[in-house]
């Protein structure tokens, strides 16, 4: 646990009692704060009382007497589409609002670091797609290279649930726009921006607000080094704002669509080959095509980002390559779960939007595509140019028929359920084809989350294969 600093004797309110909220409560108490809590759900409030926590109805004006800070869980809207009533009440009372990410950055460094030989560092990764894989890959490379490391944030454990830093440790954080948007402190040593595509637009009132939330990671704290994907205008704009000129190697530009030879430091991949350039010359390269844990162009972008971070932390090319070759991949992200009779089965349930699904479709040839779910804002028009490798679509979800009508030029079978979709895809799949779950939609019409959807796919495939 990371005890929160500077809160001793202060009364602090915590809104939201999920994983991050409960970790914040424990870390605040460890720092000597008097903590009161609130959650909109009666079961969560009852569980908090069973834990001995003080539950206080923060919707009442008098509840704010003596409260010096509100810590809110990232999933709770603080501005758009409308502020949560408790956050609005905090504003009215003049009480600052923060989240666990802000508490972490102001509490991680301690006086004990003065005795370390190597100062601990924090790598923070954000972006629309690939941030989980990039974060996990960086963590894997560090661990395989013998560097002490921890992984937290939007992936795995809450940031305040981490252990205090060890000598030379690197903490890798995956940060969503929900987390970066509100944190009052954002001071990573290395910050990564993978890419940007439409997502969470209601929460940020459009693309401008969404990008602004991501940009805060770079603008608020000024990282020592920034790794920026420059395949979209937003990334090119961000790199331009951070660099003093094309030779400024504090900014490492990353691309999977073009060569980047005219900059101080860049890493790019074309046709499956990664190249690292510094000040006008190539200094390292890697063939990514046979690394099974990183299939497709979208994973090549993740590999470029992770390579850039690892190199900025002083790791050599051979050590990075060896670690990448042992990377197993993340569950629900281009996860190869089986291969039988020449047919591969891949779970990419995390492909919850059009952009991530398009990247998954580009990673394989001759695809039996399981798709559908709760359609996101903007429709499926962006997928149409990427359907060339689809042999047939098997559409799931409550609105499967409406989803299928937006897939012109390909055969689409209305299956509705995962069980039926897997059954039909397996019946019709031929050697050399891939049965791919890449829904291009949220899961909430049928499942609690994308993980549950992916586990259902895995269970259906394995059941039919007798495994």
The contacts of residue 221 (CB under 8 Å, 6+ apart) are: 105, 185, 186, 187, 188, 191
Q: Is 334 annotated as a binding residue?
A: no
Q: CA torsion sign, 338 to 339 to 343 to 348?
A: positive
Has 133 been labeled as part of a binding site? Answer: yes
For 249, the 3-state DSSP assignment is: coil
CA diameter of the chain:
68
Q: Is 107 labeled as ligand-binding?
A: no
Q: Which two tokens stand for residue 171?
A: 């903490």
449 marked ligand binding residue:
no
Of 313, 315, 260, 271, the C-alpha closest to 296 is 271
- Asked whether residue 129 is marked as a ligand-binding residue, the answer is yes
Q: Is 259 exposed, middle or buried (0-12, 13-18, 19+ CB in 10 A)?
A: exposed
Token readout for 20 is 């991050």
Length of the chain: 467
Eight-class DSSP state of 50: H
- Torsions phi, psi of 386, nearest 5? -110, 15
Distance CA 329, CA 52 (A): 40
Cα 66 to the chain's mean position, in Å?
A: 36
The residues facing 413 across adjacent strands are 394
Helix axes 296-312, 354-362, angle to 10 degrees: 100
Distance CA 296, CA 298 (A): 6
| Numbered residues of the known binding site for ATP | 127-133
| Numbered residues of the known binding site | 127-133
């Amino acid at each position: 646990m990371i005890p929160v600093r500077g809160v001793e004797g202060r009364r602090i309110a915590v809104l939201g009692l999920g994983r991050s909220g409960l970790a914040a409560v424990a870390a605040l108490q460890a720092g000597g704060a008097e903590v009161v809590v609130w959650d909109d759900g009666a079961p969560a409030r009852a569980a908090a009382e069973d834990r001995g926590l003080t539950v206080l109805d923060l919707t009442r004006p008098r509840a704010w007497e003596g409260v010096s800070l509100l810590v809110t869980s990232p999933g709770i809207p603080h501005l758009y589409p409308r502020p949560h009533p408790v956050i609005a009440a905090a504003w009215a009372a003049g009480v600052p609002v923060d989240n666990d990410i802000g508490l972490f950055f102001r509490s991680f460094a301690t006086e004990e670091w003065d005795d370390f030989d190597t100062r601990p560092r924090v790598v923070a990764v954000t972006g629309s797609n690939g941030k989980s894989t990039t974060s996990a890959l960086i963590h894997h490379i560090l661990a395989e290279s013998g560097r002490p490391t921890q992984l937290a944030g939007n992936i795995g454990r809450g940031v305040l649930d981490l252990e205090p830093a060890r000598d030379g440790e690197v903490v890798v954080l995956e940060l969503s726009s929900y987390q970066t948007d509100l944190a009052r402190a954002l001071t990573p040593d290395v910050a990564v921006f993978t890419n940007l595509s439409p997502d969470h637009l209601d929460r940020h009132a459009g693309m401008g607000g969404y990008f602004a939330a991501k940009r805060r990671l770079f603008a608020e704290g000024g990282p020592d080094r920034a790794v920026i994907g420059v395949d979209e205008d937003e990334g090119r704009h961000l790199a331009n704002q951070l660099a003093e000129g094309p030779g400024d190697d504090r900014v490492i530009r990353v691309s999977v669509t073009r060569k980047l030879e005219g900059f101080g430091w860049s890493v790019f991949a074309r046709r499956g080959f990664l190249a690292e350039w510094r000040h006008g010359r190539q200094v390292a390269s890697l063939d990514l095509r046979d690394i099974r844990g990183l299939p497709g162009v979208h994973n090549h972008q993740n590999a470029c980002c992770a390579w850039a971070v690892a190199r900025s932390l002083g790791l050599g090319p051979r050590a990075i390559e060896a670690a990448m070759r042992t990377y197993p991949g993340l569950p629900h992200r281009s996860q190869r779960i089986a291969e039988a009779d020449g047919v591969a089965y891949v779970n990419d349930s995390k492909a919850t939007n059009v952009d991530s699904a398009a990247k998954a479709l580009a990673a394989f040839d001759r695809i039996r595509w399981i798709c559908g779910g709760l359609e996101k804002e903007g429709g499926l028009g962006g997928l149409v140019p990427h359907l060339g490798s689809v042999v047939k679509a098997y559409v799931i979800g409550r609105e499967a028929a409406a989803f299928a009508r937006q897939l012109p030029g390909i055969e689409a079978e209305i299956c509705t359920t995962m069980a039926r979709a897997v059954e039909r895809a397996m019946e019709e799949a031929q050697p050399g084809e891939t049965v791919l779950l890449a829904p291009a939609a949220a899961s909430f019409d049928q499942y609690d989350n994308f993980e549950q959807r992916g586990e259902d796919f895995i269970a259906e495939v394995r059941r039919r294969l007798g495994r």
